[in-house]
Structure 1
Amino acid sequence: MSIGILGIKVGMTQIFNKEGLAYPATIIQAGPCTVTQIKTIKHHGYNAIQIGYWRVHTTCLTKAQLGHLNKVNTTALRYLAEYRVKSTEEFQLGNLVTAQDFKIGQSVHISGKKIGKGFSGCQKRHNFCRGPMSHGSKNHRQPGSIGPGTTPGRVFPGKRMAGRSRSIMSTIKNLQIIDINCSQNLIVIKGAVPGAKGSLLNIKI
């Protein structure tokens, strides 16, 4: 029943193999996740399994979210994710998805939100050219004109300007699982994954 799982990035370490070579590794606290909805072709047009992760207090969710989770008599879960499957016969509402459902040596795709680079200017964020650096120039790293004058008298939406940079979703494919700790629901991935420590990760097969 290995479909995918949600987890939290614990941090990075290094692991030595039998030859003494060190490999970078990422430790992920994966699950346990609860199956909260089963979608079928007959009712929804496609087969998929929805799982929930990270128990929270009921005040952290809306009434609509709580009503959706109450249908399967589960606790309040903050994060939901959906995975397409060929058949839903193996799954039942309320089943748990844990690190035990994965295998060492298996390849997975991991998605997460990048750390980002904070508030950045136009040159770093959009690769703008700088102005002349000679004496007397008053346009070194300024963005320049941002719009026309009286007509239309406003800045068009989508104008490339300074702001929060590169904190976007990213996916790294074909990462290898090199170790699994089923008692603590830990999965060790070879290499680095997107996101900072404590960020949410989506592990897909």
Structure 2
Amino acid sequence: MQSFKGDRCVYTCESLYIIYPKMSGIIGKKIGMTSIFSADGRNVACTLIEAGPCVVTQVKNVETDGYNAVQLSYGERKEKNTPKPLIGHFKKAGTTPKQKVVEFRDFRVEFEGQVDMGKTVVSDKIFVEGDFIDAIGTSKGKGFQGVVKRHGFAGVGGATHGQHNRQRHPGSIGACSWPSRVFKGMRMAGRTGGNRVKVLNLKVLKIYPEKNLLLVSGSIPGAKNSFVILEK
């Protein structure tokens, strides 16, 4: 195999490849927040998630699609509210129409037998207590907000010396003669929330397989009953 010679060492082709870990996951719904006591007596805030069950509605591979992926679907949906192409897509997998469809790239090798078309994936087969997972959700939308709520500004100042109506205003946003414009990225009022947010390294504290529930440490973005994507 051809090598690339540097000044002090030799690098082979294999050393130039970045091998990413295979990722598995599941779709769930945020139920709400609670707290439990840890073994050392600490009160730990945690989030309750209904994780799955999900149905495998498509399996992609390198030969036909150019990459390996597993498509999972979650949540029941009325057929009259489902587009006809999606109805055919779900019927091909032998399942009813679903609300949420998510694709997971390079599903882990140990789950190969469980991710065939039409199979059901449950949370206790993917995660175990003590695992660290990543959670993806859509944060609560706040609408159009000012700089105090959106960026934490303190406002211009007190209500004296002519400042009777400037308490929550942004103040100056730039110079006049030069550069005679407002720089891109200036923190100003605007739409707040409603963004895709990913929270890393949340610990799975408890699994209730009979109810498809996960108890995860910390908070997860989104309102109650919103969809959440959990990745391992």
- Aligned residue in 2 for 1:22: 43
Unaligned runs of 5+ in 1: 145-157
| Cα distance change, pair 136–75 in 1 and its aligned pair in 2 (3 A) | same
**CA distance in 1 between partners of 2:217 and 2:155 (Å):** 40
Structure with the greater alpha carbon radius of gyration: 2
Is it true that 1:171 corresponds to 2:198 in the alignment?
Answer: yes
- Aligned residue in 1 for 2:29: 8
Higher mean displacement: 53-62 or 30-39: 53-62
| Cα distance change, pair 89–26 in 1 and its aligned pair in 2 (3 A) | closer
Runs of 4 or more consecutive aligned structure 1 residues displaced over 4 Å after TM superposition = 86-89, 126-139, 141-144, 158-163
State the TM-score, normalizing by the size of structure 2: 0.72
Aligned mate of 2:138, from 113, 117, 129: 113
| Bigger relative CO (Cα 8 Å, ≥ 6 apart) | 1
| Cα distance change, pair 200–130 in 1 and its aligned pair in 2 (3 A) | same
TM-superposed CA distance for 1:197, in Å, is: 1.1
**CA distance in 2 between partners of 1:137 and 1:18 (Å):** 54
User: Is the 2:129–2:205 Cα contact (8 Å) retained in structure 1?
Assistant: yes
- Alpha-carbon deviations, 1:142-199, whole Å to 9, x = none? 689xxxxxxxxxxxxx998754312211000111101000000000001111111111
User: Is the 1:5–1:203 Cα contact (8 Å) retained in structure 2?
Assistant: yes
Q: Specify the SS of the correspondent of 1:66.
A: helix
- Aligned residue in 2 for 1:94: 118
Q: How does 1:1-205 map to 2 (within 5 A)?
A: 3-85=24-106, 89-90=112-113, 91-101=115-125, 102-122=127-147, 124-125=149-150, 140=166, 162-205=189-232
* Amino-acid identity (%): 38
Unaligned runs of 5+ in 2: 1-22, 172-184
Q: Specify the SS of the correspondent of 1:79.
A: strand
Q: For this pair of structures, how many residues does the alignment match?
A: 193
Letter of the 2:124 counterpart: Q
| Cα distance change, pair 125–25 in 1 and its aligned pair in 2 (3 A) | closer
